Every structure is written in structure tokens, then in C-alpha cells.
Amino acid sequence: MRVLVVEDARALAAILAEGLRDQGMAVDVAYDGLEAAAKLDLNAYDVVVLDRDLPGIHGDTLCQMIAERHERVMTLMLTAAATPGDRVSGLTLGADDYLTKPFHFPELVLRIRALARRQPSARARTLRASGIELDPIHRTVTRDGHPLDLSAKEFALLEALLRASPAPLSTESLLEQVWDEHADPFTNTVTVTIGRLRRKLGQPPVITTTPGVGYRIAQ
């Protein structure tokens, strides 16, 4: 899952980004509305966490732009404007959810994941292929009924492969979905993470590599 955090308070933006990355999400950050609009034009995001009172382009205007131009992207307004009227107006602008500051971080994580599941492209809650069952809500993975202990990045990579299955995903696609805009396109981090994931999934191998194409999990 790839998330864009739009927050002009840099300390809070850093805390949000670090916390969401610890949950296995790929996170980019924008500190004003103009920067956010540019990133939305360049990258495909699942969820935007959007502060309302932004410099450059106001959060209300950016929310309307997202609703009109980016049909896949779900928007969570995260703002200090906490009255019922503020909530109604935010949702009227096109926000898919609204959370007021201060907030409880685990609730934010749950709301982001819930929004991702509401995307038009979202599939069934439990992803299955080749004896693997992955539950994105409860963050569990089993193979042939045996639980697997995966790191956050391993889990996110496996989820991306399962969602794409039986189609392959290139290294570039995996970097975009599982890491973030700061990932080095020449890094071997995908290869290394795939290697760890293969070892944890065990035998027989289920992740195949097609040179020049990418990685896939057969159904």
C-alpha cells in the first residue's frame, strides 16, 4: 500500500511517515498543497492523509481535485477542525473519511487500511494462492495452514504479489508499491527481500522470476 501524507507541520509529518512505514506501508510526504498535487500527478497512491489547512493549495481545494481527478485514491482528512459542521463540510468536499487531531495512532492505521479496502480495485479480504492465505486486516499469513512470521516489508511485498497474481510485477512496480519515492531504482533491496520471503515460504517454491519481466505467484 502506498500512502501520501500531506502535512505542513514537519515534525508531525515525520512522526506519521515513520509510524506508517513501521506498519509496512510505502509513504511519501508533501508539506504543502502544491507539492502534493505534483506528487499525485507523478505517483499512484492508495490513500492520501490530508491536512486541511495547507499552504500553497488549501486542503479543501486539494481534496476536491483528488475526488475529481484521481478515482483510485481514497482521502482521509486529518485536521484540528473538529466540529460536526467541519466534518460534514470535509466529507462533502469529497473526503472518504475524517479524523480529528489529536488522534490515536492505531485508529489512524485502521482507518487507512479500511479505506484501501474500499478502493474500486480492492479484492476479497483474504488473498489466496498456491496454499498461501494472507489476511491484510489481521496481518496474518499462513502456508498450508502453518503460520509465517514475516517482517513488515516481506508482508507488504507478498500482499502486492498476491493482489497481482497470476500477473507478474516488475522490480519497478514493487519498489513503487512497497517502498516509496526515495527508493533507489538501482538498489537490490527487492531481490534481497524476495530471497528472504522465498526462504520463509518454504518448499515447493511459489515465487517465480521471469528475466526482464518480474516476479509472480501462480494461482
Calculated CA dihedral for residues 210, 212, 217, 219, nearest 10 degrees = -80
Q: Is residue 134 part of a domain?
A: yes
Q: Is the pLDDT of residue 186 over 70?
A: no
How far apart (Å, rounded) are the C-alpha atoms in residues 123 and 162? 10
Are residue 83 and residue 150 in the same domain, yes or no? no
Please give the average per-residue pLDDT across 130-145, as a whole number: 88
Q: Which segment of 1-5, 121-125, 153-157, 203-207 scores lowest on mean pLDDT? A: 121-125
Kindly list the strands in the beta sheet with 127-129, ordered across the sheet, starting from the edge strand earlier in the chain. 127-129, 132-135, 140-143, 146-147
Q: For 96-116, what is each residue's pLDDT tens digit?
A: 898 988 899 999 999 998 888
Q: Is the pLDDT of residue 122 over 60?
A: no
Q: Is residue 122 part of a domain?
A: no
Q: For 30-81, what is each residue's pLDDT tens digit?
A: 999 999 999 998 888 889 999 988 999 999 999 999 888 866 789 999 887 6
Q: Is the dihedral of CA 189, 195, 199, 201 positive or negative?
A: positive
Q: Which of 117, 144, 177 is the last residue of a domain?
A: 117
Identity at 40, one-letter amino acid code: L
Q: How far apart are the first and last CA of the chain?
A: 21
Q: Is residue 146 part of a domain?
A: yes
How far apart (Å, rounded) are the C-alpha atoms in residues 151 and 23? 10
Which of 215, 201, 83 is closest to 160 using CA atoms? 215
Q: Is the pLDDT of residue 124 over 60?
A: no
pLDDT (0 to 100) of residue 152: 86
pLDDT (0 to 100) of residue 130: 86
State the residue range of the domain holding 140: 127-217
In the chain, count of helices (H) and strands (E)?
A: 8, 11
